[in-house]
Amino acid sequence: MAREEEAVYHARASGSLINLRHKPRLIDLFCGAGGMTLGFTKLCGHCFMPVWANDNNSDAVRTYNMNFGEHCIEGDINDILANGTIRIPEADVVIGGPPCQGFSLLNKRRDGDPRKQLWRPFMEVVKRSGASIFVMENVPQLLDTFEHGEIKETARQLGFMTIESVLCAADYGVPQTRKRAFIVGCNFKDPCMFFPPKKTNYNPKSMNATGLSEELDDYIVDPLPWRTVRDAIADLKKPEGTEIRKLPPPYDLHFGRTPTELSKRRYRAIPKEGMNRFDLQRLAPDLTPACWIRKTEGGTDLFGRLWWDRPAFTIRTEFFKPEKGRYLHPVQNRPITHREAARFQSFPDTFKFFGKKIDIARQIGNAVPPLMAARVADTVFSLWLSRPN
């Protein structure tokens, strides 16, 4: 069945899927800006038809509706399901990423976090919509939790067979090494015959004298190298100003910040790409915060510069703060801009974001990279095509 999935990938790339007459209906829950919907729809060459979406953030809902049509409902999904006046429409596929903070390594003491239970309304929407396929996305840590077992058992009780896998965005054309877990469920065929999708891009470091050192069956025919920071942002001029500008993309969101003099000195102290806080401590200990000096292990990405010829590291919601991760430009003495972060997430420049700077940053950092979602959509579409008449 992997051949069918690869055929769908090539058909999508050629643009031949967009005009299909019968399109699978799509619901996106916890949709945010709509990165996952984007991967399933025509902007990424796909043919799914969004019919309903939900998020509890008003700016994210505005962003979603500006790009996909006015069918995203703002509100708490539990309240919506309890409200008898709001009908969940029929759908073929339900996708979404229940908020992951409760599972994240960045939040290690959240055993009682209610966000760890938001998979329950997700599965309720699967049930009410009559969907035959679902895709649940989350942090890789989800697969090591008690909740993962509960999700699979609930899906089984609803008649679904499931498979799960951790995917790396860089393997699917995204210039970023973000890893995400996906659980795919289907009630008419075992999804393990279609998922995970074959990789379209490879890590050049995995090459040896005879070619790829990994299993060739994991890749499409003629995969491309990973896309890099250079591929994504080298064409952009230096950012201007510190606010969103009324300019055509990409320069509407390509603005800078106003760092302190101390921050500027720290930027200049680590001039080479790939440097980080340990290099700052070695080269300029007088500029290094005491808390970094005390933390002798881990955190190698903190206050780090990107490499031109590697993918970006995981883009989070505070990518504009270099002390939060590897978010310094490879050669310029500044953090990355909103536009650069959006490109690292594989959002096209034409995608419209609504909100203030911090709201848009949150939407960008929380999104599923659209190109990654598109490869998942290839497998879902292959699965949908195999449904019984």
Q: What is the pLDDT of residue 104?
A: 54
Which domains are seen in the chain, by residue range? 2-203+368-385 (3.40.50.150)
Task: Evaluate if residue 212 carries a pLDDT over 70.
Answer: no
Task: Evaluate if residue 2 carries a pLDDT over 70.
Answer: no
Q: What is the pLDDT of residue 352?
A: 98
What are the pLDDT digits (tens) for 247-294?
A: 999 999 999 999 999 999 999 999 999 999 999 999 999 999 998 888
Q: What is the pLDDT of residue 211?
A: 65
State mean pLDDT over 357-384.
98
Higher pLDDT, 308 or 214: 308
Tell me the C-alpha distance between 333 and 270, whole Å.
9
State mean pLDDT over 204-224.
79
CA dihedral 299, 304, 308, 313 (to 10 degrees): 40
Which among 31, 44, 72, 100 is annotated as catalytic? 100
Strand order from edge to edge, sheet including 179-186: 72-74, 49-55, 25-29, 93-96, 133-138, 179-186, 161-168
Coarse DSSP helix, strand, coil percentages of the chain, rounded to the nearest 5 percent: 40, 15, 45
Binned at pLDDT 50, 70 and 90, residue 84 comes out as: confident
Q: What is the mean pLDDT of the chain?
A: 93
Compute φ and ψ for 314, nearest 5 degrees.
Answer: -55, 125
Q: Given the structure tokens 């054309």, which residue do they identify?
A: 173
**47 belongs to the catalytic site:** no
Q: Quote the pTM value.
A: 0.94
Compute φ and ψ for 52, nearest 5 degrees.
Answer: -165, 150
What are the pLDDT digits (tens) for 236-255?
A: 999 999 999 999 999 999 99
